Structure 1
Amino acid sequence: MQDRRQFVRSSIAVAAGGMTGLSWLPKLKAGELDVAPGHVRFSNDIEPLVQFLENTPRNKIIDGVLEEIRTGRSYQELLAALFLAGIRNVQPRPSVGFKFHSVLVVHSAHQASLAAVDQHRWTPLLWSIDYFKSAQESDVREGDWTMSTAPSSKLPEPTKALHSLDQALTRWDVEAADAAATIVARTASAGQILNLLAKHAARDYRSIGHKSIYLANAYRTLGVIGWQHCEPVVRSLCYAILNHTGDPNPANSDLKVDRVGRSNWERVNKMSKDWLSMTRKPTESATVAKELRTATPDQAADFVVQMINSGCHPESVYDGIMIAAAEMVSRQAEIVPLHAVTTSNAMRFLYRNVYDDRTRQWMLLQNAAMIPHFRESAEARGRLSDVDLLQLDPAADDSVGIENLFDLIGTDRKAAAESVLNLAQQSSVANRLIGRAREFVFLKGNDAHDYKFSSATLEDYYQIDPIWRSRYLAGCSYLLHGEGEETTSLAKRVLQLE
């Protein structure tokens, strides 16, 4: 058997490309690769590997995948098969969350793999595959949903498909959206698809931001595995976006969860035409963050319009949104504030990648309005502490270094945040701190949110103005892993390979 160093070296080679043949699979007779009638089937080059992940029992899946890595299985193929297996087998209902995190987390795990040292390169992918098997088991218990084959009737003309999909999503019409999405996936560009879906994914607070998270992560995952796989992904996205479980059809209703999204299109008309020709003033980010502590969703959107029209650069507004989300984490280190961070990460990605100016302006207003939604949901779960991230003082004790910082995380969160603020002000130390934080996710992380949150936080750190980076990271440190937590069995297994 290979020693660990040999395994790591081969892992690097596989991640870079490696062998792509399917010779490792058992010899299959004609017809054995057919899926059940009525269920979506993927292309011949990936279907066998997807079925391998689907059909291998959970207690044997890691052994099977490790063997394929050793024999040259491509990282890209495994990532594609994992993503598609989740899309076919795990329903994004009754909420685009819970078991569906097995799909949502794929790109976050990929980000973690890219940033990992060689020793941990494969851990995020292996963890994600095991997590998919757990989600698959949950879906079976809840009715064993499987994605259906693409519709073949009532399909719009290709030249009208984008408009038809827009109208179907506006009407919350699942059947019409599925038909239009099928043609859009076959004919539209990646940019056209993102631009259209973004304004529907981000329009409501249902599933606490997971619709935007799914769109952003699916779009980025397709960029890694290849857009030849986009048809089932686009269909799945539309199905998730149209989830309104428990509510009447929002197109025919006036529900609180939908109101600010609709009114923000009217606010866009009030924004300056020169909204991008402003000078960036980082100090204005603090003004935005303070306002979001108490504003309602509508008040937050109105305030952003005022800031933009007074000359504030949109990126300064966005930094304020990110600081507000991080502060919420420091005030209540729980699941709802966590999603304020991960949703803002996704919506900022969408804001930067849609091409239509009106949609970009609307995304900015929507993200600002989301923060009060998250704050209200967090308050409903328990009192928020009085932490003021903007007034947090760096630790006076310079003896706390990176190694003992992670001893402090988990035992004294406020002291750890103060030390993070002190250490992160030095860029070279900040990079080491972030690397160490990622390593603890690999070693201690045992939930999809560990990967989603850490990947979002550590990505956003570099996108925020340097004036605010250390405070943002200090706020988010309340949800990082510490030395005192137990190392997962999977991490131990990967580390002990020999």
Structure 2
Amino acid sequence: MKRPHNINERRGFLKSAGLAGATLSMTDFGFLGRLPAVSAADTKLPSNAVEFSPDIEPLVRLLEDTPREQVVETFAAKIQSGTSYREVLAALLLAGVRNIQPRPSVGFKFHAVLVVNSAHLASLNSPDSDRWLPIFWALDYFKSSQARDVQEGDWTMSAVDEASVPPSHRAKDAFRAAMDNWDVDAADTAIVALCRTAAAAEVFDMLAHYGCRDYRSIGHKAIYVANAYRTLQCIGWRYAEPVLRSLAYALLNHEGQPNPATHDLAPDAAWRVTQERLASLPAEWSHGRLDAGATRDLLDTLRTASPSDAVAVTADLMVSGVAPQSINDALFLSAAEMLAQQPGIVSLHAATTTNALQYAYRTACGDETRRELLLQNAAFIPYFRESMQGRGNVAAKRINVSDDAGESDGAASVDEIFAAVSSDRSRAAADMQAFLASGGRPESLIHAARRLVFLKGNDAHDYKFSSAALEDFYAVSPQFRNAYLASSAYLLPGSKDRDNGLVDRVRDALA
């Protein structure tokens, strides 16, 4: 990850955001004198709290202890003085897992943890001049979530119970037993042993298995598995232990319901069908034929199927020799269609959960795990449709996957499309699809959308959705990509939306 190394490059960052003329000299940082010094003693934690390695603990403590109204200025100064992108990203993730509890749901305030990878992806895919903006936003967002956690009881991750950590030769079995029994304490020590002794890829496969087994928290478990692993790929596996402890704890959240290990509960129904169908899939299931007709048929089936039926139909397609790509296309398109039918929190999570499950599917090594992920992704689509029905009207709209781009008064420009997003999302979606059908470059839409998230985004979901949808454009088969990207207009920010003030805060911090 390249970051600005000198004053001229930093000026370029501000100019690209419309902030030419800002002065970035360190001599202008008068606010530094107002900040308390961080001594070695200040980095000591209570004995019952988990403590990180000495290379990152002081930076995490700085983030934890800095008031929200000063966090942008404080970290601007740290970055100016040489703190790296990876160090700031690591501090963000570690501060989140130590201070934010994935209860009562793996969502809400816990988005401070879930969104770290989304901010990282936005940064990674932005011009060099913009790459710090998502990180500054995430720093501020962490402080708001930290305050909410304090209001809800001020939870802090405890130190590892070293006496209960199983030996390395029992780590895998201990972890599986704990997760299968939904045993939080046993899982906490087992994941520590697993993290210390197993390969990262092997650990990911096991977590992906449990991340897709139930629909509780509307997909956030699968999202956390993917996002935690992806962020660790950037900051380094040496920081994995506290992150994976938080993740195991999140995966065992059953939201006040009875223990799923001993009860037959609705959120687990499709998982049981998935386990029954795994053995019926042929060894060559991943080498099928591309079939656009099968994609359209599955898309239609998923509009009315139950979660369990969706698993069965998808398994039948795999047995018949349809390629996973054609199945995945239907899953992406189903999630995109829901955005138009009911733009909001549920359809958004259909897209972000599909993104996470598809990442896990592409990344997992185990054949059985990959089959589980594909079947469970199919199951989650009807779960999301059921959740939408519980939230009100679901419009009878269908995604346009025909060769006809739809009616449009000529090809609108990128600026016109994003202006329409602020006032008429249906028109913006049609214009976006027409723009792409007429040969417009998708990258021009994608880059504009990311810049608008930086300028207009106010919520973790703005980053989560945009990072997922804009990434998945390239995962969809070419003939369906335009329809997929056009549907994102229902939730992306528009150019006429109110600015979030982030750029002004960063400008002032660097002035």
CA–CA separation in structure 2 for the residues paired with 1:48 and 1:249 = 39
User: What do residues 298-319 of structure 1 show as CA deviations (whole Å, max 9, x unaligned)?
Assistant: 1111110111111210111011
Matched, 1:487 2:469: no
Matched, 1:476 2:488: yes
Task: Pick from 193, 215, 220 the counterpart of residue 210 of structure 1.
Answer: 220
Match of 1:231 in 2: 241
Task: Pick from 388, 408, 414 the counterpart of residue 402 of structure 1.
Answer: 414
* Alpha-carbon shift at residue 67 of structure 1 (Å): 1.1
Runs of 4+ with >6 A deviation: 24-27
* Aligned amino acid, residue 179 of structure 1: T
User: Secondary structure, in 3 states, of the residue corresponding to 1:390?
Assistant: coil
CA contact (8 A) 1:40 1:150 kept: yes
User: Secondary structure, in 3 states, of the residue corresponding to 2:357?
Assistant: helix
Query: 5 Å matches for 1:211-290?
Result: 211-290=221-300
Matched, 1:7 2:10: yes
Q: TM-score, normalised by structure 2?
A: 0.91
Matched, 1:451 2:451: no
Query: 5 Å matches for 1:90-101?
Result: 90-101=100-111
Match of 1:172 in 2: 182
Residues 333 and 5 of structure 1, relative CA distance in 2, 3 Å threshold: farther
Query: 5 Å matches for 1:49-448?
Result: 49-390=59-400, 393-425=405-437, 429-448=441-460
CA RMSD between the two structures? 2.0
Task: Pick from 474, 492, 496 the counterpart of residue 462 of structure 1.
Answer: 474
CA–CA separation in structure 1 for the residues paired with 2:199 and 2:134 = 30
User: What do residues 324-364 of structure 1 show as CA deviations (whole Å, max 9, x unaligned)?
Assistant: 00000111101000000000000011111111111111111
CA contact (8 A) 1:10 1:70 kept: no
CA–CA separation in structure 2 for the residues paired with 1:38 and 1:426 = 61
CA–CA separation in structure 2 for the residues paired with 1:26 and 1:10 = 28
User: What do residues 425-457 of structure 1 show as CA deviations (whole Å, max 9, x unaligned)?
Assistant: 366521101110111101100100000000000
CA contact (8 A) 1:62 1:130 kept: yes
Choose 354-363 or 322-331, whichever is displaced more: 354-363
Question: What is the total number of aligned residue pairs between the two structures?
Answer: 485
CA–CA separation in structure 1 for the residues paired with 2:304 and 2:236 = 43
User: What do residues 134-157 of structure 1 show as CA deviations (whole Å, max 9, x unaligned)?
Assistant: 000000000000000011122212
User: Secondary structure, in 3 states, of the residue corresponding to 2:490?
Assistant: helix
* Aligned amino acid, residue 415 of structure 2: E
Choose 153-162 or 251-260, whichever is displaced more: 153-162
Q: TM-score, normalised by structure 1?
A: 0.94
CA contact (8 A) 1:286 1:390 kept: no
CA–CA separation in structure 1 for the residues paired with 2:118 and 2:93 = 12
User: What do residues 273-296 of structure 1 show as CA deviations (whole Å, max 9, x unaligned)?
Assistant: 221221222332211111111100
* Aligned amino acid, residue 185 of structure 1: C
Match of 1:16 in 2: none
Q: Which runs of 5+ in 1 are unaligned?
A: 12-23
* Aligned amino acid, residue 398 of structure 1: G
Residues 4 and 479 of structure 1, relative CA distance in 2, 3 Å threshold: farther
CA–CA separation in structure 1 for the residues paired with 2:8 and 2:419 = 29
* Alpha-carbon shift at residue 31 of structure 1 (Å): 3.9
* Aligned amino acid, residue 10 of structure 2: F
* Alpha-carbon shift at residue 388 of structure 1 (Å): 1.1
Choose 122-131 or 280-289, whichever is displaced more: 280-289
Choose 62-71 or 128-137, whichever is displaced more: 62-71
User: What do residues 43-62 of structure 1 show as CA deviations (whole Å, max 9, x unaligned)?
Assistant: 00000000000001111111
CA–CA separation in structure 1 for the residues paired with 2:216 and 2:171 = 26
* Aligned amino acid, residue 353 of structure 2: T
CA–CA separation in structure 2 for the residues paired with 1:267 and 1:26 = 60
Choose 225-234 or 353-362, whichever is displaced more: 353-362
* Alpha-carbon shift at residue 390 of structure 1 (Å): 2.9
Residues 8 and 251 of structure 1, relative CA distance in 2, 3 Å threshold: farther
* Alpha-carbon shift at residue 424 of structure 1 (Å): 2.2
Q: Which runs of 5+ in 2 are unaligned?
A: 15-32
Match of 1:17 in 2: none
* Alpha-carbon shift at residue 495 of structure 1 (Å): 5.4
